[in-house]
Structures are given as C-alpha cells and as structure tokens.
Amino acid sequence: MDCTIDRRATFSASHRYWLPELNEAENRKLFGAGANFPGHGHNYVLYISIAGAIDNYGMVENLSTIKKVIKREVTSHLDYAYLNDAWPEFQQTLPTTENIARVIWQRLAPHLPLVNIQLYEHPELRADYAGNNMEATLTVKTHFSAAHRLALPELTLEQNSEIYGKCARVNGHGHNYHLEISVIGEIDARTGMIVDLGDLQNLVDELVVEPFDHTFLNKDIPYFASVVPTAENIALHIAQLLQEPVVRLGVELDKVKLIESPNNSCEIYCRKGSVKTQTKFNTALLAR
C-alpha cells in the first residue's frame, strides 16, 4: 500500500512575459501588465508530492533527503532570481506558473518519486503538474456572498427541518462562498500558458461572480427556483455554466470546488463531460 507525502518549499523570484519576436503592442495584447519592463515578482509556494511504500523506518522517503534535493535542484537556483534567465528552459518557454511547475518536475523527477508538483504564484492562482508531457492544470480562486434557504416546497417546515436543520428556516441565511475553478490543457511551447488568464478570470466573473454575488439564490437565480441550493447543487450549476465556455477558451474544465464554510466544501469533477461530486463535511450536516 503506497503513501503520498507532501513537502513544502518557498522561493521569491521575478519574471517578465515578453516574446522578442513580437512587437510591444503584440506583447501587451497577449500578456497585459505582465509585459511591463523589467518584470514583476512573487513569493512562490511549492508543494512536492511524493508517493511510495512505507519503509522499515516508517518513511516513504527521508525528509532530510527530500529537503536537500529540493534545495539543490530548485530553490537554490530560483530564490531571488530573475526566472527568464535562471534556467535554459525558460528561454524557450516563458516562466508562467504552469511552466515553472513543469520544469521543476523535470528537475526533480530523476531524484524523487514524484506524483504531483503544485505551485502557488499567489493565494488566488496555482498550477498543478503531474508529469503528463505538456499538460497542466491551472486554478483560479474567487469569492461571492449570497443567501439561500434549503427546503423542498412539497414538504412542511417541520419535515424540511428534519432534513436540513436550521438551514430550512423560512428567511434563509447567508455565506461568504469561496470558489476554485480548475482548468486543464496543453502548455503552449512558446508562451508557457495553457489559457489566457485574463480571459478565464473574466469568464468566471461574468458567468458566476456577478450574477451570484449579493443575491438570495432561491429567488434571484432562476435555476434554484426548482433546485435546492445546497453547496453540491450550487457547485454543479457553476460547472454547468462554465463547461462549454471554458472549452471555447481552448482548455477543459477540470474541477469546481465550492467552499461554503470552514466546515463544508464540495468538489465537482468535470473532465470528459462526466460530472462527479465529492462533498466534504468536517462537522455534521446541521452545521452548514
């Protein structure tokens, strides 16, 4: 039976999105503010996932060894570096979040039994890479505030309260919802991007955040006039809203995660047109 462990590392670095074969107007159209000279910086947070059998010492891999390998192969090169010049790989393909994750995998794979590289450029943007050639996953985070009531119209208040607890109260209640949208696609060999990040963020804002924010979901969103707006159903509807528009951006919707509260989250897995739901409750259903 294999076990997966994660090792966290950090580095601070700068980069610039600029292709010398394009003129300034073309670069700015493609990369926006990312094309500004001389570049911009981030405090990157890196998670290295390693899998294997637990040995006689109770470890998958010696943590001291993992730490030394990450420092030798990655952070000693990238910390306080200008990424465009740090590694030859970034001369060919720009150091976007997704491409940095891919190249880190390539650097570490000969030394560690990797299963995933996760790189946060900042708390609202991360990339995952699992060794699948040029395929990577990009995740953007956002939020909206909304109210809802959980109740089936054909049931009495007492019956709904048996099912939904306090969530069935007639005047509803609200949440600050946190939303993660993950898309998967091929890293462009020159730009380093799987999708135009601005286009993706605009799409999520247009189709989800703006229509949902500061609403009473049951009354203001037509879909929920006949569907109970549980976290699961909200996440499913968001996935349905985004699935086809995301394809038109050239990527595929991979996952929608909706965090309703610190105790309750839901994930919808969307690849290949199949939708699977996974709900996580850290407390009882009545603690929604």
**Residue 287, pLDDT above cutoff 90:** no
Q: Average pLDDT of 218-239?
A: 97
C-alpha to C-alpha distance for 68 and 231, rounded to whole angstroms: 42
Q: What is the C-alpha separation between 251 and 270, in angstroms, rounded? A: 12
Domain layout of the chain by residue ranges: 1-131, 132-288
* Nearest Cα residue to 138 out of 213, 191, 79: 191
| Rounded-to-integer distance, Cα 237 and Cα 28, Å | 35
Q: Say if residue 38 is preceded by a cis peptide, omega within 30 of 0.
A: yes
The predicted pLDDT at position 1 comes to 74
For residue range 28-86, list pLDDT tens digits in order. Answer: 999 999 999 999 999 999 999 999 999 998 999 999 999 999 999 999 999 999 999 99
Structure confidence at residue 284 as a pLDDT band (50, 70, 90): very low
Q: Model confidence over 113-142: pLDDT tens digits?
A: 999 999 999 999 999 999 999 999 999 999
Query: Tokens 């998967």 sit at which residue?
Result: 184
| Annotated catalytic residue, options 167, 252, 266, 267 | 167
Is residue 286 over pLDDT 50? no
CATH topology identical between 1-131 and 132-288: yes
Mean pLDDT of 242-265: 97
Give the pLDDT band of residue 2 (cuts 50, 70, 90): confident
Reply yes or no on domain 132-288 having CATH 3.30.479.10: yes
Question: Which comes out higher in pLDDT, residue 86 or 286?
Answer: 86
pLDDT at 192 over 70: yes
Q: Average pLDDT of 85-92?
A: 96
pLDDT at 168: 97
pLDDT attached to residue 24: 95
* pLDDT tens digits for range 145-172: 999 999 999 999 999 999 999 999 999 9
Tell me which of 98, 121, 232, 260 is the catalytic residue: 260
Task: Work out the pLDDT band at 278, boundaries 50, 70, 90.
Answer: low
Q: Is 11 left (phi over 0), alpha (psi -120 to 50) or beta?
A: beta
Which residue out of 40, 122, 173, 214 is catalytically annotated? 214
Question: Buried b vs exposed e over 143-182: b needs ≥16 C-beta within 10 Å?
Answer: ebebbbbbbeeeeeeeebbeebeebbeeebeebebbbbbb
pLDDT at 271: 78
3-state DSSP percent of the chain in helix, strand and coil, to 5: 40, 35, 30
Residue 3 known to be catalytic = no
Lowest mean pLDDT of 1-15, 33-47, 266-280, name the range. 266-280
pLDDT at 209 over 90: yes
Q: Is 167 a catalytic residue?
A: yes
On the 0-12 / 13-18 / 19+ scale of CB atoms within 10 A, 248 is exposed
**CATH tag for 1-131 (out of 3.30.479.10, 3.40.50.1220, 3.40.50.2300, 3.30.200.20):** 3.30.479.10
- Told to judge if 266 belongs to the known catalytic residues of this protein, a careful annotator would answer no
Terminal C-alpha separation, the chain: 35
Distance between CA atoms of residues 115 and 23, nearest Å: 39
3-state secondary structure (DSSP) of residue 262: coil
